[in-house]
Chains A and B, each alone.
Chain A
Amino acid sequence: MESAVRATHLAHRFATTDWLFTDLSFSAAQGEIVGLVGPSGCGKSTLLSILAGWLTPTEGRVERHDIQHVGWVFQNPHGVARRTAVDHVALPLIAQGMSWGQAHDMAEEHLTTFGMDGLKDRLFMELSGGEAQRLMLARAVASSPDLLLVDEPTAQLDRTSADTVNTVLTQLASTQTIVVIATHDPDTRQACTRIVDLAHNVPRAGTDQGGTG
């Protein structure tokens, strides 16, 4: 299977920081779940933004093949306070050309997948942190991404909800979506088919690659 994302010799630092990571190379194929692991501040979110193409790495490059849309679920979910849960998930479906009614019907199905079938008419501001996180995952999935970047998806979830999310992400990968997850969660890590361990990436002087697996 041809790799859809290939990171080659990535290194990055911000103007006011030391090197976050250096000489980092890895690849991800369609259907794979890549886990980015490492302590807080090691550059996991920065690496996600580089993979998304929103940030240019200080060194190295990222090649993306046949990727039309990149989805991103942030650690801190942000929605429109006075719009309902189903409205949030319906928006990307409407944007893809569905009618209002069709989009809302399908959005309800996505919410059910993430265990939120009873919350469809709840305003975003009325959702708990975990519910909001699952909602944004459902929205990201509804946007049919070729590459889905997920930042700490289970950090705010209870065990049951976290298991639901891990299951859905695994299912999503089986639809040929590339999933890259920054995580501390051992269960999420187990769901990954490839791990990039930033904790063992040696800053600047080192030459070891962070990628394993």
Chain B
Amino acid sequence: MRLRTLAREAWANLVSGTSRVGLLAVVFALIIGGIAAIDTHVSLGVIRRADEFRSSGSATSALRATAGISGTQCDALAGSPPLHASGAIRSGDPLRLGAMPDVTIHSWEVTASFVELLPHIAPVEVPAESSLTGVWLSADLAGMLGIRPGDDVATSLGSAVVGGIYEWPDDGRARELGFTILVPTDPQGDFDACWVHVWPQNTAATSLVYLSLTGAPEEAELGQLNARLGAQFNAHAAMESRLTRHAAGAALVLGAALGAAAMRLRRLELASALHARVAKSDLVAGQVLEALGWLIPGGVIALAGVVIPAAWIQRTIVHEAFVGELAAVGASVIAAGAAGALLATIVSVALSQEKHLFALFKSR
């Protein structure tokens, strides 16, 4: 049968309702889309745990060696994954703020890239007009003073522009950066600690932090910024062992069942077509085209059921990269369901025989 004629015959079956496109697309979307949505939801739980681990500072390590860290070397560590950010820090001069003259605030001098290690709020670009320009305030201090990024703040060391505000919640992380001010400074010189953010966790990458050490190794101490959630979180292993890890396999089986059921409903028609001298290869090709007629819309509906919640999640979690991972999880389940349906369609038609007509008619 000519390809064009084959496609026209398949199209006629689709538009006439013979292929039951609407019903099968909806059933596919509900069953396979449901499995995909459940798997996505469970995967989201794993991703949220990973995100919590990462954002809590558990994936950030600090090499502490008083005046034994090269700021320049420490800054230079970041840039190649999984080592995403690094920065050096040392204790600065105490400050007094004009709004609270009786309170001494501890300050820290940090290299410029250090703030990339912090969960921050709306940083602003500020001109370098003074040594204090572009200071960063912890959110608790800024909240108490009613200060926002870009505001001027009077200090005992002079006026400063607030370059940004960072979150430092009391969630188990070291309290040293709570209720304080960070002053970006020249990376030249010695610092007290070098922080590195490594994700996914990788011991070899973390050990690169020792390259910033200028003092004796025995005087240095490497530690986790926040140990509350444990030393390790293997997101890959967590995904591999999740409750719905066999979702794609289940979708494959159920998709195949749906494809086989769709063909079973038409078994008399298939046998009759063979009896009308339609070649089995043409019959397979035609039925695959018709199956695509309901798999494509059903798959799109199912995928929308995954992507739309994922788009909403994009606004609620910190790392947008996870949205792609979630969509991939859902899409793989839907693809498995579609593959199962197509496979069952091909096998069902291949097993159809003209002589089934006799048995089918005898049973009527």
Where the two chains meet, the residues of A that have a C-beta atom closer than 8 Å to any C-beta of B are 45, 49, 52-55, 69, 71-72, 74-76, 78-83, 87, 91-92, 94-97, 99-100, 139, 143
Q: B276 near A: Cβ within 8 Å? A: yes
Q: B5 near A: Cβ within 8 Å? A: yes
Q: B175 near A: Cβ within 8 Å? A: no
Q: Is B355's CB under 8 angstroms from A54's CB? A: yes
Q: Is A92's CB under 8 angstroms from B357's CB? A: no
Say how far A208's CB is from chain B's closest CB, in angstroms. 27
Stretch at the interface among B196-204, B232-240, B265-273, B327-335: B265-273
Name the B residues within 8 Å of A143 (CB-CB): 275-277
Q: Is B358's CB under 8 angstroms from A52's CB? A: yes
Query: Which of A81, A94, A139: most chain B Cβ within 10 A?
Result: A94
Q: Is B358's CB under 8 angstroms from A83's CB? A: no
Name the A residues within 8 Å of B362 (CB-CB): 45
Q: Is A80's CB under 8 angstroms from B17's CB? A: no
B357: contacting residue among A53, A72, A81, A139, CB under 8 A = A72
Q: Is A94's CB under 8 angstroms from B1's CB? A: yes
Closest residue to A48 on the B side, CB-wise?
B358
Q: Using A81-B18, A99-B2 as known contacts, say yes or no to A91 and B355 having CB atoms under 8 A apart.
A: no
Q: Using A92-B276, A143-B277 as known contacts, say yes or no to A76 and B361 having CB atoms under 8 A apart.
A: yes
Say how far B21's CB is from chain A's closest CB, in angstroms. 12
Q: Is A76's CB under 8 angstroms from B275's CB? A: no
Q: Is B16's CB under 8 angstroms from A82's CB? A: yes
Interchain CA distance A69-B2 in the complex, whole Å: 21
Stretch at the interface among B7-15, B164-172, B310-318: B7-15
Interface residues of B in 289-331 (CB under 8 A from A): none
Q: B279 near A: Cβ within 8 Å? A: yes
Name the B residues within 8 Å of A71 (CB-CB): 275
Q: Is B278's CB under 8 angstroms from A78's CB? A: no
Apart from the given pairs A83-B18, A143-B276, 20 other A-B contacts in the complex at a CB distance below 8 Å: A49-B358, A52-B355, A52-B358, A54-B355, A54-B357, A55-B355, A74-B357, A79-B272, A80-B269, A81-B18, A82-B16, A83-B12, A87-B12, A91-B276, A92-B276, A95-B1, A95-B276, A95-B277, A97-B1, A97-B2
Interchain CA distance A74-B356 in the complex, whole Å: 13
Q: B282 near A: Cβ within 8 Å? A: yes
A139: contacting residue among B17, B276, B354, B364, CB under 8 A = B276
Interface residues of B in 327-364 (CB under 8 A from A): 354-355, 357-358, 361-362, 364
Q: Is B12's CB under 8 angstroms from A95's CB? A: no
Name the B residues within 8 Å of A74 (CB-CB): 357, 361
Q: Using A83-B16, A87-B12 as known contacts, say yes or no to A95 and B278 having CB atoms under 8 A apart.
A: yes
